[in-house]
Structure 1
Amino acid sequence: MENFSFGFWDYAIIGVYFVIIFAIGFYFARKERNTTEYFLAGRHVGWFAVGASLFASNISTEHFIGLSGSGYTSGIAVGNFEWSASVCLLFLGWVFVPFYLKSGVFTMPEFLERRFSASSRWYLSTVSIVAYILTKISVHLFAAGILLHLVMGWDLYTSSIFLVVATGLYTILGGMSAVIYTELIQTFILLTGAIVLTLIGLHRVGGWHELVSHVPDGYFSMFKPVSDPDFPWTGVIIAPFVVGIWYWCTDQSIVQRVLAAKNIDHAKTGTIMAGFLKILPVFILVLPGLIAYALQQKGLLLPGKTLHPNDVYPVLIKYLLPAGFRGLIVASLLAALLASLAACFNSTSTLMTIDVYKKWKPEASERQQVNFGRLATVVLVFISIAWVPLVNSLSDQLYVYLQSVQAYLSPPIACVFLLGLLWPKANARGASIVLWTGFVLGLLRFVLEVIHKTHPFTDPFIRTMVTMNFMHFAILLFAFSLVLMMIVSVLTPAPAQEKLNGLTFRYAGHVDLSESYKVESASRRKRNIIASCILVILLLILYALFF
């Protein structure tokens, strides 16, 4: 595909974007950031910034690249992960947030230690830090490399180094405040860019009716047959919620945003707002993939050529948009990438500071903790750059790759958090056994899957377990984790009640409410209930329309 030259207005828009982002970073860098408010923005973030930050930190370049690619090859079924996220965000706000904020924790591993044991904390800290580097950061950089290479001609190394250093700079300088308030701006930018491209593409294809008539049957259905290799209906009705509970309700890079909220009311309202925003990706990120397919069928986009799924979104940018608009779309993609990278950097440095450094050196002052957090971010920047050469080996359908890796890690963690809140008898022994057993089984599946691609297994049982759809595997692993934890907890001593105060539903009222961010108001709670009901009704209508 031939390259084109960006015009003056394209570069001007991108330049203005970076000026705004760095201005926010330097603004917060000038403020006093030598206390642990560096990690949670002083717990003074309002609901609108919380909701925008939740959305922006989740939506990265791999969503633009991966969702459009999956839409191009399979239709809108991949959107199940987006709409299930809306439900999981309600779970975050109504089920998890009150316990997280009332416990006053900084990290998810810290909460797990209070509920279970130090070994559970070390497990989650280690797995989270490693997973951020091996999956999240690598996927972000891979997607960015595809985009900037096809659209601007940059190679993977140049684009990755530039973006990692740029993100690391304002994250190090401004801490969580800089991250959240840049994500607030980035939300508007990425939504604007994605909506513009979708509308132009829909106009070019000839409208909704033309789009529907030029894509295969089933492309507008959320539920595929059981035989579908990527999104069988038996998987999408359960697995996205298993992965979603882990990601949206227990993952540090997400939950850290609600921990920074002014109070429980603002945290809940922020999660509900993010739930509404998560409806949009199906229409502004998946739909462009269907538009690209229809345009090809009509001979209006690279006639005679077959698009690689990862190339769909960059090709749409190159061939549909006039000068000026290209800069807007690239700015929106960069906004998505920088928001997600910043979330990874900030949450990983928080984990390394609170769960590693502070445990190793409990007498460390707040200034020392902040300095260590900044140093940890610098180290992450260099690790990310060093990781770039291995990034190019990822899956063809980027989003499917990401979800499959998460499916191997998430079920035991989701199980431990859920039973920890819902069942007082769940104990430390059960949590440790489930976490490590689940990790071994998930890792085994991943390793065997890699081996099977070059040296296929002949044993029927092993072959079935390796070739099973990743969503079916996630469901089985989650069910196995639930049963295992219940059996172990029943056969071993139950935790003492004083250890459960404020950490389970049964003992939810046994908590100190002297700090303002732990207090809930009746009027705000009523508004949140109404908004949550509207969100659920809207989701039911959408599922009915795209059944």
Structure 2
Amino acid sequence: MNVGALLSFLLVTIVVALISWYKTRKENLQTAAGLFFANRNLGFLVVGGALFFTNISAVQFVGENELVYTNNMSVMAWGLSSVLAMLLVSEFIMPVYLRSGISTTPDFLEERYDTGTKRFVSVIFLISYIVNMLPSVLYSGAVTFNGLFRVSEVLHIGYWQTIWILVWLIGLTGSLYTLLGGLKAVAISDTVLGIGMFTGGILLPYAALKYLGHGSVSTGLDLLLSSRRDHFNSIGSPQDAVPFPTIFTGMFLVNLYYWGTEQYIVQQALSSRSLAESQKGIAVACTGKIISPLLLNIPGLIAVQLYPHMHNTAEVFPKIVSDVCSPMLTGYIAAITFGAALTSFNAGLNSSSTLFVLNLYKPFKARQQKPASERQLIRAGKRFEILVCLLAMLIAPFIVFAQHGLYTYIQMVSGLFSVPIFTILILGLLHKRMPAIAAKIGLTFFILTYAVSQFLVDTGLHFLHVLAILFVLTVLLMMTVAALSPRKEPFVQQWSNVVDLQPWKRRHLYTVLLLLAMVALFVIFSPLGLAE
């Protein structure tokens, strides 16, 4: 383990922690609003940084570079196509949420359907976080940290034991962070780390090209562009991990769900001081998605030239960092990826606690005629975070046995929970007489049939296409239920004045610019551009 890299890692990590502490030292964390929503007072830069870096975790650093190495740039579609979804959420869904003054996305489903639907969806969210989101963040962080610092070699222990140790180290650190600092500490860390990621996104490809060119960046770039041009293609074929047509089917639905419904993402935007700040923040996050291939995908392209044959492809990103970077830069990149794992894990923990306390625990106490005080809510939330953290740390190491790569595994399993929730949300918005029973039937049908298609029966279809087909079938099923037993009165949204609801006036101009940038990147990494 290089001492310079370790010192650099510790320095950056401590600086980020100190900035977060300084910015949140006067924050009141003894109320649910303070702990879970930063008192609804975040500006657009913090909202944008939190949205972007909560989404970016070690999962993306490890998983996307791995898929670029084993397939091609088609994996880039996950990040780039989300720009369209984010802009749609900014324009159409976020105003609905902020008008209602909700605390969680299931709150809106309660307003639209009934309390039973809210509880059902809250439980689905919690299961998703415990078995998929949080363990995958811990596992990918452990893989990256081990690859960068050769922990298994330094400690002279096996890979499996090393992953266990690092998973628990990241998990315990993350839980302390969110327990002590709340959502605002997570958001501030995300913003600082987001700035650091952009810097790393320039420095790492530069160092990798210089290494490939034996000291010359231009020679390295020539070597990169002179062979294996098929890896530059973002237009995936049916054999690739991300076939291009899936962008317009299941991927579009997953992205809409993620940015418009996923609690630990939406919670960042709900904490903004106004609708305009929320929409500006989403535009900032979109800009981050446009730039992120520099760190999430380009290193995987360069690794194709450096390492023609790798046994454990999950080690692509940490290996190229440790090989091409100076000790100081290695420690810097390690701090960014470690911070990415921590902040995503922290956001997931905070949202899990929010869902449990506000949607399950607080209503339960109210039904018992024993309303919970703010102090009881905070105590219950922190205890639940500890429980969720322990469960995630126990599950995480077993992801090593996942087939088809880490990133594909995460996206496939998340489909079990994501698109069903989005389906009932969008139908609830569009169909004013959709009854609550239709939502429950739709959720149950979608989850069961998708589970069968992925774990029991081989359909021969890509899982994203399966999600799109089931979306259509579920919509038809719910429409049939609504026709037979419609809601007695059409749904009318109740307005709340929690924050200023005036939209951002210049949002349409930035929408056009961001969409043009998204399309341009797809063209550059296609047979019309670098993949010629």
Find the aligned partners of 2:365 and 2:350 in 1 and give their Cα distance: 20
Q: String of CA shifts for 1:249-295, please: whole Å, max 9, x gaps.
A: 10001000011000100011111111111122323211111110022
The structural deviation recorded for 1:296 is 3.4
Q: Is the counterpart of residue 526 in structure 1 residue 523 in structure 2?
A: no
Residue aligning to 1:120: 117
Q: Is the counterpart of residue 6 in structure 1 residue 2 in structure 2?
A: yes
Residue aligning to 1:301: none
Find the aligned partners of 2:346 and 2:354 in 1 and give their Cα distance: 12
Report the 3-state secondary structure (helix = DSSP H, G, I; strand = E; otherwise coil) of the residue aligned with 1:408: coil
Q: Is the counterpart of residue 33 in structure 1 residue 12 in structure 2?
A: no
* Structure 2 counterpart of 1:164, from 171, 180, 189: 171
Answer yes or no: is the 8 Å Cα contact 1:7–1:324 preserved in 2.
no
Q: String of CA shifts for 1:454-480, please: whole Å, max 9, x gaps.
A: xxxxxxxx44x1x32111111111111
* Structure 2 counterpart of 1:102, from 99, 102, 106: 99
The structural deviation recorded for 1:36 is 1.8
Mapping for residues 443-462 of structure 1, pairs under 5 Å: 443-448=451-456, 462=457
Residue aligning to 1:335: 339
The structural deviation recorded for 1:207 is 4.2
Mapping for residues 206-221 of structure 1, pairs under 5 Å: 206-217=219-230, 219-221=231-233
Q: Is the counterpart of residue 487 in structure 1 residue 480 in structure 2?
A: yes
* Structure 1 counterpart of 2:141, from 141, 144, 149: 144
Residue aligning to 1:92: 89
The structural deviation recorded for 1:25 is 5.2
Residue aligning to 1:291: 302
Answer yes or no: is the 8 Å Cα contact 1:88–1:241 preserved in 2.
yes
The structural deviation recorded for 1:181 is 1.0
Q: String of CA shifts for 1:313-333, please: whole Å, max 9, x gaps.
A: 111012111221110111111
Q: Which amino acid aligns with 1:80?
A: A
Q: String of CA shifts for 1:292-347, please: whole Å, max 9, x gaps.
A: 002235xxxxxxx4343211111101211122111011111111111111111111
* Structure 1 counterpart of 2:359, from 355, 375, 383: 355
Q: Which amino acid aligns with 1:131?
A: S
Find the aligned partners of 2:518 and 2:28 in 1 and give their Cα distance: 43
Q: Is the counterpart of residue 543 in structure 1 residue 525 in structure 2?
A: no
Find the aligned partners of 2:43 and 2:404 in 1 and give their Cα distance: 39
Q: Is the counterpart of residue 501 in structure 1 residue 492 in structure 2?
A: yes
Q: Which amino acid aligns with 1:194?
A: G
Identity %: 26
* Structure 1 counterpart of 2:265, from 239, 248, 254: 254
Find the aligned partners of 2:267 and 2:86 in 1 and give their Cα distance: 14
Answer yes or no: is the 8 Å Cα contact 2:41–2:273 preserved in 1.
yes
Report the 3-state secondary structure (helix = DSSP H, G, I; strand = E; otherwise coil) of the residue aligned with 2:506: helix
| Distance 1:167-1:193 versus aligned 2 partners, 3 A rule | same
The structural deviation recorded for 1:396 is 4.6
* Structure 2 counterpart of 1:59, from 53, 56, 61: 56
Q: String of CA shifts for 1:395-422, please: whole Å, max 9, x gaps.
A: 3521111111123332221211112112
Find the aligned partners of 1:223 and 1:486 in 2 and give their Cα distance: 35
Answer yes or no: is the 8 Å Cα contact 2:50–2:190 preserved in 1.
yes
Answer yes or no: is the 8 Å Cα contact 2:139–2:397 preserved in 1.
no
Answer yes or no: is the 8 Å Cα contact 1:29–1:173 preserved in 2.
no
Mapping for residues 71-470 of structure 1, pairs under 5 Å: 71-154=68-151, 155-205=162-212, 206-217=219-230, 219-226=231-238, 228-296=239-307, 305-362=309-366, 363-448=371-456, 462-463=457-458, 465=459, 467-470=460-463
Residue aligning to 2:67: 70
Residue aligning to 1:459: none
Q: Which amino acid aligns with 1:369?
A: L
Q: Which amino acid aligns with 2:328?
A: G
The structural deviation recorded for 1:140 is 1.2
Answer yes or no: is the 8 Å Cα contact 2:81–2:247 preserved in 1.
no
The structural deviation recorded for 1:46 is 0.4
Stretches of structure 2 that go unaligned for 5 or more consecutive residues are 152-161, 213-218, 527-532
What do you get for the CA RMSD once the two structures are aligned?
A: 1.9
Q: Which amino acid aligns with 2:355?
A: L
Q: String of CA shifts for 1:93-122, please: whole Å, max 9, x gaps.
A: 111111111111111111111111222211
Q: Which moved more, 1:391-400 or 1:170-179?
A: 391-400
Q: Which amino acid aligns with 2:3?
A: G
The structural deviation recorded for 1:163 is 1.0
Answer yes or no: is the 8 Å Cα contact 1:26–1:170 preserved in 2.
no
Report the 3-state secondary structure (helix = DSSP H, G, I; strand = E; otherwise coil) of the residue aligned with 1:479: helix
Q: Which moved more, 1:386-395 or 1:471-480?
A: 386-395
| Distance 1:397-1:365 versus aligned 2 partners, 3 A rule | same
Q: Which amino acid aligns with 2:492?
A: N
Answer yes or no: is the 8 Å Cα contact 2:314–2:405 preserved in 1.
yes
Find the aligned partners of 1:283 and 1:32 in 2 and give their Cα distance: 38
The structural deviation recorded for 1:444 is 1.8
| Distance 1:22-1:273 versus aligned 2 partners, 3 A rule | closer
The structural deviation recorded for 1:43 is 0.4
Q: Which amino acid aligns with 1:188?
A: I
The count of residues paired between Structure 1 and Structure 2 equals 504
Q: Is the counterpart of residue 47 in structure 1 residue 44 in structure 2?
A: yes
Instruction: Name the TM-score, length of structure 1 as normaliser.
Output: 0.88
* Structure 1 counterpart of 2:15, from 9, 13, 20: 20
Report the 3-state secondary structure (helix = DSSP H, G, I; strand = E; otherwise coil) of the residue aligned with 2:236: coil
The structural deviation recorded for 1:482 is 1.7
Find the aligned partners of 1:387 and 1:407 in 2 and give their Cα distance: 19
Report the 3-state secondary structure (helix = DSSP H, G, I; strand = E; otherwise coil) of the residue aligned with 2:505: helix
Residue aligning to 1:475: 468
The structural deviation recorded for 1:195 is 2.9
Answer yes or no: is the 8 Å Cα contact 1:83–1:279 preserved in 2.
yes
Q: String of CA shifts for 1:27-56, please: whole Å, max 9, x gaps.
A: 536642111221111000001100010011
Q: Which amino acid aligns with 1:172?
A: L
| Distance 1:544-1:391 versus aligned 2 partners, 3 A rule | closer
| Distance 1:391-1:545 versus aligned 2 partners, 3 A rule | closer
Q: Which amino acid aligns with 1:252?
A: Q
Residue aligning to 1:511: 495
Find the aligned partners of 2:187 and 2:240 in 1 and give their Cα distance: 38
Q: String of CA shifts for 1:475-508, please: whole Å, max 9, x gaps.
A: 11111122112121122122523xx222xxxxxx
The structural deviation recorded for 1:235 is 1.8
Find the aligned partners of 1:194 and 1:334 in 2 and give their Cα distance: 15
